[in-house]
Amino acid sequence: MDENTKSYDSDNIDSTLEEVSKELKPGETLVLDMGNSSTSQADIIYDTLVMRGYDVKKSNKRGSNQIYVNKRV
């Protein structure tokens, strides 16, 4: 893991999103790769980020749920 990679505990979604929101700067994109986690978990994270004012897109590549997060400028 390099210095720009963070590991977040998926069991505490709200705390994790709080940490992400502190570090993500306007114009930056963060990719949350959730692996083969359930779609409902990805939906919860997606909805939470949208409610917090982020631009969010969901993707599923090769069975891996991904969420792209941008902080609005």
Cα gap 54→38, rounded to integer Å: 22
Q: Residue 3 domain-assigned?
A: no
Q: Looking at the domain assignment, is residue 1 inside a domain?
A: no
- Residues 13-69 have pLDDT tens digits of 667 777 777 778 888 888 888 877 667 788 888 888 888 888 999 988 877 888 899
The total of structural domains in the chain comes to: 1
| Predicted TM-score of the model (pTM) | 0.67
Order of all β-strands in the sheet with 54-61: 29-33, 64-71, 54-61
Decide if 43 is inside a domain: yes
Segments forming the whole domain that contains residue 36:
13-71
In a domain, 5, yes or no: no
* Residue 67 domain-assigned (yes or no): yes
Residue 40 placed within a domain: yes
Quick check: 1 pLDDT over 60? no
